Amino acid sequence: MDIILLGPPGAGKGTQAKKLVALTGIPQISTGDMLRAAVTAQTELGKKAKAFMDAGKLVPDEVVIGLVEERLKEKDCEKGFMLDGFPRTVPQAESLEQMMNHLERKLDHVLLLDVEDEELVNRITGRRTCGKCGAIYHLVFTPPPAADTCTCGKKGLDQRADDNEKTVRERLSAYHKQTSPLIDFYGKRGLVRKVVGTNSTPEDVFASAKRALGL
């Protein structure tokens, strides 16, 4: 199954992707995670991406398209893939279509996680993540079992550099201007499965997502 998780920052793409990976074994491909790894490793690509990410702006299309093109050729994608945070612009979606034509594959679903802006700001400013296993928490909605400690045992959870209110507003604006046109792009292709996430727990969203994806 080849799917895209589409939705604004904080909609729960990463949270739902982890649940779907556990259920299906299909790999999650998060361009945000790949870019953050490049920033931490201080690669040329990471240095180029950092200023855009810190400002809440999209990294240029050619940078992320190259990353995804290489990743989709890896062996674990043969059984399917779950794109999280890609595509984010119409040119990225067109490139993905070309890549998939070359690979003789067809997208099955675009899972749209729909959440209102004010809830997104609360979710993102309260997010904490584990630098060891990648678990995602929220200080209020889904807190770690013990303060500042992950279930995997790692002490000291991280807050992303772009998870402050000012940058979140920029990211939301980028989503509405540059990414939301993809709802129409994939709607015309009959691929959009919408799940409403406002005032809904991660477990309830997961139940709706499974229904929407026929799982």
| Active-site hit among 48, 71, 154, 160 | 160
Name the one range near ligand AP5 by CB under 6 A: 21-29, 49-57, 72-80, 148-156: 49-57
Q: What's the CA gap between 168 and 12, in Å, rounded? A: 14
Burial label for 22, CB within 10 Å (0-12, 13-18, 19+), is: exposed
Q: Which of 130, 197, 208, 209 binds ligand AP5 (CB under 6 A)?
A: 197
Strand duo 81-84 + 2-6: pairing: parallel
Strand duo 127-129 + 136-138: pairing: antiparallel
Q: Which of 135, 171, 193, 208 binds ligand AP5 (CB under 6 A)?
A: 171
Q: Are 6 and 185 in contact (CB under 8 A)?
A: no
Of residues 109-128, those binding Mg ion (CB under 5 A)? none
Q: Which one of ligand AP5, Mg ion, none interacts with residue 142, CB within 5 to 8 A by kind?
A: ligand AP5
Residues in contact with ligand AP5 by CB under 6 A are 7, 9-15, 31-32, 35, 52-53, 56-59, 64, 85-86, 88, 92, 123-124, 126-127, 136-138, 141-142, 162, 171, 197, 200-202, 205
Task: Return the active site residues.
Answer: 13, 88, 127, 160, 171
